[in-house]
Chains A and B, each alone.
Chain A
Amino acid sequence: GAVVSQHPSWVICKSGTSVKIECRSLDFQATTMFWYRQFPKQSLMLMATSNEGSKATYEQGVEKDKFLINHASLTLSTLTVTSAHPEDSSFYICSARWDRYTDTQYFGPGTRLTVL
């Protein structure tokens, strides 16, 4: 159990375009999902917390207009990188909190974004 998927696994786009990344909990309902960003050889940095049916909570320094998060259902959260630029190139990872173990997060496989 506790499987989280992400789609796409990798994406290459041109500067100025928008990219949507999906995060799904496959076998459980996730009331809370999290979005992280990881640069090469660095740790994970939390970008935002996404609760189903409400607005996402962004961490300090994360532009909410640039990184749009929607958590429309208990099994799906999406991150849209708007007007992407090369500096947005990174590994984006989502996680979901499984209520049965409320404080344990299960992670998706990540999405590698490259902006040309």
Chain B
Amino acid sequence: AQKVTQAQTEISVVEKEDVTLDCVYETRDTTYYLFWYKQPPSGELVFLIRRNSFDEQNEISGRYSWNFQKSTSSFNFTITASQVVDSAVYFCALSEAGDYKLSFGAGTTVTVRA
């Protein structure tokens, strides 16, 4: 069973628009960790954020923000005022406690047009 679902395959926006990437996860563990990674065209994955299951506080980092809601098993990611450099594939991932293995979603390709 797929543990992480990213329903949006591709999103295309014009520069300065906001874009929200959805991530829904599934786990039976009470302790788990959620991640977002960015994969630009170069291929290297860039770590963006880690959130543990006991911390539902939303987070903002510059133009990036994350909304974690355990009630809906979602961990959504918003890019505010998008820029061309934000064009990449974004992956949501889940790690269950004691396992440390990452289960990745299918990824969402974000294209920001100038």
- Cβ-defined contact, B101 with A104, below 8 A: no
Closest partner residue, chain B, to A104 (CB atom): B50
List, in ascending order, chain A residues with CB within 8 A of B37's CB: 107
Given contacts A44-B104, A46-B101, A46-B102, contact A107 B45 (CB under 8 A): yes
A103 proximity list for chain B (CB < 8 A): 33, 50, 52, 95, 100
Asked whether A109 is an interface residue with its Cβ less than 8 Å from the other chain, the reply is yes
Q: A91-B43, A109-B42 are in contact. Are A43 and B106 (CB under 8 A)?
A: yes
Alpha-carbon gap, A89 to B45, bound state (A):
19
Give how many B residues have a beta carbon under 8 Å from the other chain's beta carbons. 21
Q: How many residues of A contact B (CB 8 A)?
A: 23
**Are B104 and A108 interface neighbours, CB within 8 A?**
no
B residues 32-69 touching A (CB-CB < 8 Å): 33, 35, 37, 42-47, 50, 52
Whether B106 contacts A97 by the Cβ 8 Å rule is: no
Known: A46-B102, A49-B101, A103-B33. A110 touches B43 (CB 8 A): yes
Q: Taking the nearest CB of chain B, how far is it from the CB of A23, in angstroms? A: 13
In the complex, whether A77 has a CB less than 8 A from a CB of chain B is no
Is A109 within 8 A of B44, CB to CB? yes
16 A-B interface contacts by CB (under 8 A): A34-B101, A34-B102, A44-B45, A44-B104, A46-B102, A93-B43, A93-B45, A97-B100, A102-B100, A104-B50, A107-B46, A109-B42, A109-B43, A109-B44, A110-B43, A112-B43
